[in-house]
Amino acid sequence: MINRSFPEAADTKTKQIYDLLRERILQNRYTAGDRLPSTRDLASEFGVSRSIIVEVYEQLIAEGYLEGRQGSGTYVADLGQERPFQVQLDETVESGDLAELPKNPARFHGIDFRPSFPALEHIPYKKWKETALSIFDRLHTADYGYEEDPAGNGELRANICRFLLQTKGIRCSPRQVVVTAGATQAIDLLCRLLLKPGDAVATEDPTAPFIYQIFASTGAEILPVPVDEHGLRVEALPTAPIPKCVFVTPSHQFPLGSILSIGRRIQLLEFARQTGCYLIEDDYDSEFRYAGMPVRALRELDSERVIYVGTFSKNLFPSLRLGYMVVPQDLLAPLLRLKQLTDIHCPTLPQITLARFIADRHLERHIARMKRIYSRKRKRLIDSLNATFGGGVKITGDAAGLHLIAEFSDRKFDSLAAEQLERRNIKIYPAERYAIVKGKQENRLVMGFGNAAESQIDKGIMAMADLRNAWI
């Protein structure tokens, strides 16, 4: 049925008559060639002014329902349909199975040890609001139009360069920086550019599920390369087929937490230079380093084979959806073209807000403050694990970031244990769920302390200890 009631729209007389005539034509109650009453006659039939009927006829002529013939009236057009036309409307839909991707722990009211999720309660709301406000008076009219460069706002890109120099030792020009919708878009764009179905891509194993899924969506063959306490085992990189790119998290391996040693970095760069493959360096949380200086980026050593990917989801907030990549010269033009055809560019006002937020040193101060807060949470988690499990637990991968690895020698926290704990409102993350080749991470848990409340950590660890059937 076409002529439904439109409770929220104001139904004018014009619209009511338009709908009525339209329905009659679509349902073949008037047929092609029928002559319609004159506007005068129809006006008197409906008890409305003639101008309303004129308007309805004009609309129906413009849309092709009717044809006006000079001096001889208005006729129903030939719509070419033999049967009454069916209108299909279905309003009940299910969203279906979604990929297993970061859900919002803020909506979970329990203890959530999810890795790589920042403490939302400490987000600098007020400073962000002030900055967001402050930009309006400085905006140009042009800032509301399309940006000229798909790489993003120039001020933001310059500030990202300064941030990278100060925190990661990376020297690059704003021209090499492409602002993206989070690191996710950066990696998706790189996949689209570098991988065709049948190509090969090497990735750390274990890794983040959504990284694996993005690679899988390209139709490329995924070559898992094992990780140990010094990061990616570079000597295990395959050479037949040669991967088109290698995905690495050298500053803080996700999820195992190891730092890629300098020896392996050099080997990895030699591999890239010899094979011509690209290295995608995902640096998602290494500015939160708890001892010594931040680890240098792989990109610092090579600007031609390394694509550096960064994000503001962990050091600011996830729903900002801004990240960036630092791109080798020969990939820049095709990447910008792809970015342009994907979404033209990222939203401008949030970019300008972020540029000011960095320029005013709010980001730097926020990171320094969060390092203290995360450092306390990390200590609490480590103390709690040691006090509860004693020699039965070994902690690794805790030098930086928002998570660590707890390796158990006499217990096993597997997906079954995770389900049992979830019924008690505690979420844990077995390392096995991040494994491509299964069966090698069974004694490990990935434990995030970013968003877990400090006061709740002990309670969560106690509940784990209480789990009787976790004993091996």
Closest contact distance (angstroms) between CB of 156 and its own copies is: 13
Rounded CA gap, 249 and 284, in Å? Answer: 8
The nearer residue to its own copies, 328 or 417, going by C-beta atoms, is: 328
Closest contact distance (angstroms) between CB of 471 and its own copies is: 34
Q: Which of positions 185-204 make contact with its own copies (CB under 8 A)? A: 185, 188
CB 83 within 8 A of CB 27: no
Give the range of 142-150, 406-414, 420-428, 462-470 binding its own copies by CB under 8 A.
142-150
Instruction: Give every CB contact of residue 262 below 8 A, 6+ residues apart in sequence.
Output: none
The nearer residue to its own copies, 55 or 442, going by C-beta atoms, is: 55
Closest contact distance (angstroms) between CB of 469 and its own copies is: 31
The answer, yes or no, to whether the previous bond of 250 is cis (omega within 30 of 0) is no
Q: How many residues bind its own copies (CB under 8 A)?
A: 130
Rounded CA gap, 230 and 212, in Å? Answer: 21
- Residue 55 Cα to chain centre, angstroms: 48
Q: Record the tokens describing residue 143, joined without a space.
A: 């800032």
Q: Is 109 in the site for its own copies (CB under 8 A)?
A: no
**Amino acid (one-letter) located at 430:** P
Closest contact distance (angstroms) between CB of 97 and its own copies is: 6
* List 65, 284, 408, 413, residue binding its own copies (CB under 8 A): 65
Q: Which of positions 354-393 make contact with its own copies (CB under 8 A)? A: none
* List 20, 158, 236, 338, residue binding its own copies (CB under 8 A): 338
The nearer residue to its own copies, 15 or 465, going by C-beta atoms, is: 15
The nearer residue to its own copies, 185 or 384, going by C-beta atoms, is: 185
* List 47, 71, 96, 276, residue binding its own copies (CB under 8 A): 96
Q: Which of positions 424-463 make contact with its own copies (CB under 8 A)? A: none
* List 47, 72, 99, 276, residue binding its own copies (CB under 8 A): 99
Q: Is 47 in the site for its own copies (CB under 8 A)?
A: no
Q: Is 1 in the site for its own copies (CB under 8 A)?
A: no
* List 33, 44, 49, 165, residue binding its own copies (CB under 8 A): 165
Sign of the Cα pseudo-torsion (397, 398, 404, 407, in order): positive
- H helix runs in 226-281, sequence order: 262-275
Label the pairing between strands 245-248 and 278-283.
parallel
Question: Other C-beta atoms within 10 Å of 414: how many?
Answer: 16
Q: Is 274 in the site for its own copies (CB under 8 A)?
A: no
- Residue 80 Cα to chain centre, angstroms: 47
Burial per residue of 193-222, b for 16 or more beta-carbon CB atoms within 10 angstroms, e otherwise: bbbeeebbbbbbbbbbbbbbebbeebebbb
Q: Is 249 in the site for its own copies (CB under 8 A)?
A: no
The nearer residue to its own copies, 240 or 291, going by C-beta atoms, is: 291
Give the range of 86-94, 357-365, 376-384, 428-436 binding its own copies by CB under 8 A.
86-94
**63 class by beta-carbon count within 10 Å (0-12 exposed, 13-18 middle, 19+ buried):** exposed
Residue with tokens 């609490």: 380
Rounded CA gap, 48 and 14, in Å? Answer: 9
- H helix runs in 244-301, sequence order: 262-275
Give the range of 34-42, 45-53, 99-107, 280-288 binding its own copies by CB under 8 A.
99-107
Closest contact distance (angstroms) between CB of 467 and its own copies is: 28
SS3 340: helix
The nearer residue to its own copies, 101 or 387, going by C-beta atoms, is: 101
DSSP secondary structure letters along 164-179: HHHHH-----GGGEEE
Closest contact distance (angstroms) between CB of 321 and its own copies is: 4
Give the range of 44-52, 285-293, 409-417, 428-436 binding its own copies by CB under 8 A.
285-293
Q: Is 283 in the site for its own copies (CB under 8 A)?
A: no
* List 332, 359, 367, 463, residue binding its own copies (CB under 8 A): 332
